[in-house]
């Protein structure tokens, strides 16, 4: 039996690599009744509606003001940042410990789902304050996020194409009032 299972896995791997598996799947689909195909399409439509509703709920959750501290290379608090989200716009301002504005920027964004991950995809960054005011990045960015009532968490460096970027986790706390 072990030989048969090993042979099956090897055969399946060869079929996948050769591109035959999609043809096998298509042949299986041909055996479906019109009713089966209609049910499959209906299920996909329901999934899309659920996904859209979840993204709307996430968009409502991210609205408002969020704050976090940042540290220097020695681990000392070097300042703080304020993230303000309204509709599909985000503005972030960075301050030193004396509350002096260091820099600020803004983006527009979309929330997406990629499999089981929530993705925050933003436009190119426009610098709105600080010494580089008026500058704009060449392209937008994205990161995996999680949001609940009081915490907005960003994880960067884990998506395809970000392998060279060191992984980071940034945790923002919701401000009750600005």
Go through the domains of the chain in sequence order and give each one's CATH number: 2-60 (no CATH), 64-174 (2.40.128)
Q: List, for the chain, all residue ranges whose pLDDT scores fall below the cut of 50.
A: 1-18, 20-21, 23-27
Chain centroid to CA 32: 36
The pLDDT value recorded for residue 44 is 63
Q: Check if the beta carbon of residue 171 is closer than 8 Å to that of residue 153.
A: yes
Whole-number pLDDT of residue 98: 96
Q: d(Cα 138, Cα 59) in Å, to the nearest integer? A: 25
- Longest Cα pair distance anywhere in the chain, in angstroms? 72
Half-sphere exposure of 143 toward its Cβ, with a 13 Å CA cutoff? 16
Instruction: DSSP letter for 131, please.
Output: T
pLDDT tens column, 96-111: 999 999 999 999 999 9
Q: What is the pLDDT of residue 156?
A: 93
Write down the pLDDT at residue 151: 97
What pLDDT digit, counting tens, does each position of 13-31 carry?
444 444 544 544 444 556 6
Placement of tokens 């209609």 in the chain:
38
């Amino acid at each position: 039996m072990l030989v048969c299972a090993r042979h099956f896995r090897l055969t399946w791997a060869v079929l996948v690599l050769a591109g035959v598996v999609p043809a096998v799947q298509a042949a299986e689909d041909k055996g479906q009744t019109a009713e089966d195909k209609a049910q499959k399409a209906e299920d996909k439509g329901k999934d899309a509606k659920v996904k859209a509703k979840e993204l709307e709920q996430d968009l409502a959750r991210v609205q408002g003001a969020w704050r976090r501290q940042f540290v220097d290379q020695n681990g000392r608090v070097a300042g703080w940042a304020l993230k303000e989200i309204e509709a599909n716009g985000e503005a972030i301002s960075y301050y030193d410990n004396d509350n002096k504005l260091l820099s600020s920027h803004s983006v527009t964004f979309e929330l997406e789902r990629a499999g089981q991950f929530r993705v925050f995809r933003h436009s190119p960054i426009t610098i709105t304050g600080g010494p580089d005011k008026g500058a704009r990045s060449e392209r937008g960015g994205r990161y995996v996020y999680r949001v609940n009532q009081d915490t907005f968490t960003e994880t960067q460096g884990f998506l395809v194409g970000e392998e060279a970027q060191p992984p980071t986790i940034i945790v923002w706390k919701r401000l009750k009032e600005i």
